A and B are shown apart, each in its own frame.
Chain A
Amino acid sequence: MNTALSLRSVSKIYSTGGHAFKALDKVDLDIEEGKLVVILGPSGAGKSTLLNLVGGMDVPSEGTIRVNGTDISTYSENELADYRAGNIGFIFQFYNILPTLTVLENVNLVADLSKNAVDGRSALEAVGLGEHLDKFPNQLSGGEQQRVSIARAIAKNPALLLCDEPTGALDSATGVTILKLLKEQTQRGKTVIIVTHNTLFAEIADVVVRLKNGRIKSVTNVEKPMRIDDVEW
């Protein structure tokens, strides 16, 4: 298996009002391709910071981040934009889809950005929204909106899917559907990283990373993850 993601001595320090706050402290981590990685930890542990650094939304104060062997920690703003466009699919807790674009238009937004982009229609059909192409987001349920968000992410055909509390705003039944969709992506060779408070996610993960106070507390490779349907949500 290839290493999809490699972090070496990564730190992130925020300075506010003369005070320095270390959100991540010398983090080392290697993730293999095609795994479902769940990052757990309490508030302020550094989960989202880690996700933002890997996603190229922020740059580390120290250390290197390699994605598929390429160091992104020294990228310029435009290089990071291109990196996000070509390599990363984001899925947020509150979907972040544009309310004034139709479902298909939202997905097609990324088509111009990625060289490997897949057709917006097929991406939406893959998430079960083939019938809702011309609807506006407010005509969809929360779960459907999250599926649009997933379709938008996979339409880029990215190497990494980064999910920040992807089921946080959904009921458990809908959350299960979303998790199944994400799990499917790993079977297609994509690496999915989920950041969450929900410890139940550890049951279905291939790798569980626990963070505390900006440091990695543990990294557990799960031999036999549970089937999503078998977990009591």
Chain B
Amino acid sequence: MLRKKLVRDLRRNLSQFFVIFMMVLLSVMVFAGVHAYMDGMRISAEEIYESCNLADMWLTGEGFSEKDLKTVLSDENVLAANRVLSVQAAPDGMEDVTLELNVIEANDVCRMYVFEGAEFDPESKDGMWLDQEFAKARGLKIGDSITVRYEMITVTAKIAGLVETPDHAYSIKDSTEIFPDHNTFGYAYLSKAALPEMIRSLVPFPSILVDLKEADRYDATKAGLQEMVPGILAVTGREELPSYVGYQSEVEEGETYSFVFTALFLFIAILSVITTMRRFVRKERTQIGTLKALGYRRGRIVRHYVSYNLLLSIVAAILGIALGAWLIGSFFLNMEMEYFEMPEAHIVLLPIVYVVAAVCVLIIVLVTWLSCRKILNEPASQALRTEIPVVKNTRFSLTTKGIFRKLSTVTKWNLRDIARNKGRCIAGVAGIMGCTMLVVTALGMFDTIRNYLSWQFTHLNRYESYAVISPSCADSQLERLKETYGNETSQTLAIEVKDPEPERGSAQDDNESPERTTTQMMFVSDAPQSIWFTGHDKSRIELSDEGVYITEKLSDTLHLDVGDEFTWNVYGEEDWHTSKIIGTYRDPQNQRFACTAGYLERIGREYRPDTIYSMEQLDRTRVPEGVEVIQTKDGLQKGVESMLSRMTSIIYLFIGFAALLAVVILYNLGILSFSEKQYQFATLKVLGYRTRALRKIFNQQGRILTYLSILLGLPAGWWITSYIFEAALGDNYDFQAYIRPVTYVIAGIGIFAVSVLVNDLMSRKISRIDMVSSLKANE
């Protein structure tokens, strides 16, 4: 019988229970959704890294011989190793497209995952295995012929397979790009046999991909190989592979906001449970007394009232897991997979999701019990008696003094009503604050990215195009390029920096290597017009020839301040230099050292540019000799625009969601507020107040709470945006959340408009108050 009562009560109090249901659903859905795609990305990657044999180590040199390869393979911890020549080539007939061409002899390490076509054939003379995302974006299919040019060499091959490789999960052209654009950049594999016969034997292989038997013996193997193969200039691991790092940091990013939003929704759910259940049980007080008088045991009655939210939260949690995984999880996974190339990426629901869902249900049940236990514990005789409402006037004492005395009676009444119904009001404020926060965060993310892009691409990078100079470019060719494009150049050096304070960190225990080094980059600029440097406040600083500059973030990491000296060498070289830090600067995207070409020459090093900048739009299809690739700002801009347009759809989703949430919360707040005040409104109506005046009074409270929520929500939005960027951005990035004032205005007005609309709709109920029955019901 009580079950029937439960169903009917739920139906009768639909809106209040619906909010509890929605909040539990949302908190579980967000957690399940974010974890489904995040864990899915991680586990999918682990599976692919394992099955496709992602390299554990990358050896870099000027060119590795077959003998070097054999030596590497002879190491007892090396399972497999492949030589690779990787160049950036331009395919014929495709404007603004760069193809990373990988020439390999075998494919044991970083094996291709073949989507369509044949497996890699090392003997194939005309086969090309092409990045399937690139093929999809460019409309290429198996059997299509592609001609690629690199310097003097032209190779024509037919697409034999559409593939993805684990080391290209995050595949960008160069460090100036942030998001992959499959339309303008892809990668392809050719067997050595596909190269023209006359150059086949001359091909230098500057990389060896190494698969280790035991990855945890990385350091020892690295040391052994460096000793055995003198041509090794650098050894890097997965942690230095941009593709691997980029993918991993994206996976960790979700962790940041899943917790915040789950906690927020759960908090609102708890407050909704407290307000709804207290009110509901108080309303049912006489019924509880009757049930007790009839002989129902206290335990059974407690179970009955707890079961309302137990039932709701179980259904909400199950639905939350399902919808979270299949809606949010799949949506975000698909979106991520537009950036990352991860075959067979799938969502995964780990036990933690079920545990969190169960914890949410338990919390709701516990809060329900705590909210109603006082009334449920009353003896039957007391429960059957009319409850005298308790109004603690001490709560209102503040509003009878000072400036409050000057407020209108109606305002005082509303303020005191808020103080009297704290639970309901806090739930409402938290909810609206959450919505405001969502809107500010959504728009703020957009602002931040736009601000960062403007800093990077308008303020710092002032060139229109740049050409990457080939390492084999002769001096005479370089001079000709300078004549053609101008004299603005730069060189980026991979450097090793001796730990300036070896007693700090882990190095202190390492007696065998007291001079620990870290790998860093040194940007040598001879392009004062094309590349600008900015100080802490983003104002321009000009580099002097007197020393080395360091980015602020790297300065904090390495504990190197202005005036400090540090010792460094170019990776793979013997000569060490000691330089003085003469300034710090900020770079949103690259944390590194910087100096001028003049300084480099002053310390006795030759300055050999690897990039040449131009203030003109260069023709990317006509790559001259000595140039690897030409990149234009226009091309970068296209990538940025595509990324921003993708972001816009997420922002709309966020805003739509926030608006829906605001409507649900405000509606519930309105219903609770209305039913609590119905008899007071009836009294005022009897006294002669017109409906319009009463609606104004009702709306005033909604507005006070909305103002307060917006006031709290705006800075909270900034905080969460800032938190997301701080937690999600890798060490290489240095930019903070930036939210334009107009964004706050838009968010505030938007939420306020929703609030006014919902309040207005709710206040229409006042005209339907039947004075007689409302007053009778109260008696």
Contact = CB atoms under 8 A, between A and B. Distances in A.
Interface of A: 48, 52, 55, 57-58, 77-78, 81-86, 88, 90, 92-94, 96-102, 105, 108-110, 113-114, 134-139, 152, 156
Contacts of B683: 96-98
Nearest to A78: B690
B400 A134 contact: yes
Nearest to A162: B686
Given A78-B690, A113-B687, A114-B688, A92 B775 contact: yes
Given A99-B391, A102-B400, A109-B409, A94 B778 contact: yes
A85 B688 contact: yes
Given A48-B772, A138-B393, 10 more contacts: A52-B772, A57-B771, A82-B688, A82-B690, A84-B687, A92-B775, A101-B409, A105-B409, A109-B684, A152-B687
A81 B691 contact: yes
B778 A110 contact: no
A167 B471 CA distance: 104
A152 B690 CA distance: 17
A136 B391 contact: yes
B412 A57 contact: no
A134 B679 CA distance: 23
A81 B396 contact: no
B296 interface: no
Given A96-B683, A100-B420, A152-B687, A58 B772 contact: yes
Contacts of A108: 409
Contacts of B778: 94, 96
B396 A136 contact: yes
Interface string B405-428: 000010011001100100000000
B779 interface: yes
A55 B686 contact: yes
A81 B417 CA distance: 24
A126 to B, nearest CB: 18
A93 B413 contact: no
Contact of B687 (A101, A109, A135, A136): A109
A109 B779 CA distance: 22
B286 interface: no
Contacts of A78: 690-691
A136 B691 contact: no
Secondary structure class of chain B's binding surface, majority of residues: helix
A99 B389 contact: yes
A103 to B, nearest CB: 11
A84 B688 contact: yes
A90 B772 CA distance: 12
B652 interface: no
A96 B680 CA distance: 8
Interface string B75-87: 0000000000000
Given A100-B417, A101-B413, A113 B391 contact: no
Interface in B388-405: 389-391, 393, 396, 400
A114 B687 CA distance: 10
Contacts of B390: 138
A138 B391 contact: yes
A113 B420 contact: no
B685 interface: yes
Contact of A139 (B393, B685, B689): B393
Of B393, B400, B680, B685, most buried by chain A (CB within 10 Å of CB) is B393
A93 B684 contact: no
Given A94-B778, A100-B420, A134-B400, A57 B413 contact: no
Contacts of A88: 688
Contacts of A110: 687-688
Given A92-B775, A98-B680, A138-B391, A81 B416 contact: no
B772 A81 contact: no
A100 B688 contact: no
Contact of A100 (B413, B684, B686, B771): B413
Contacts of B685: 81
A109 B411 CA distance: 12
A90 B688 CA distance: 10
Nearest to A48: B772
A77 B686 CA distance: 12
Of B683, B684, B688, most buried by chain A (CB within 10 Å of CB) is B688
Interface string B602-645: 00000000000000000000000000000000000000000000
A107 to B, nearest CB: 10
A149 to B, nearest CB: 10
A90 B686 CA distance: 8
A155 B775 CA distance: 21
Contacts of B779: 93-94
Q: Which 5 A-B pairs have the closest CB atoms?
A: A85-B688, A100-B416, A136-B393, A84-B688, A99-B391
Of A83, A88, A101, most buried by chain B (CB within 10 Å of CB) is A101
B400 A101 contact: no
Of A57, A97, A137, most buried by chain B (CB within 10 Å of CB) is A57
Nearest to B389: A99
A81 B689 CA distance: 6
Contacts of A55: 686
A161 B413 CA distance: 26
A113 B690 CA distance: 10
Contacts of B400: 102, 134
Contacts of A113: 687-689
B404 to A, nearest CB: 11
B345 to A, nearest CB: 58
A28 B681 CA distance: 32
Contact of A84 (B680, B686, B767): B686
Contacts of B684: 98, 109
Contacts of B420: 100
Nearest to A90: B686
13 contacts: A57-B771, A77-B691, A82-B690, A83-B688, A84-B686, A96-B683, A96-B775, A98-B680, A100-B391, A100-B416, A101-B416, A113-B688, A139-B393
A142 to B, nearest CB: 11
Contacts of A94: 778-779
Nearest to B679: A96
A74 B40 CA distance: 71
A89 B767 CA distance: 21
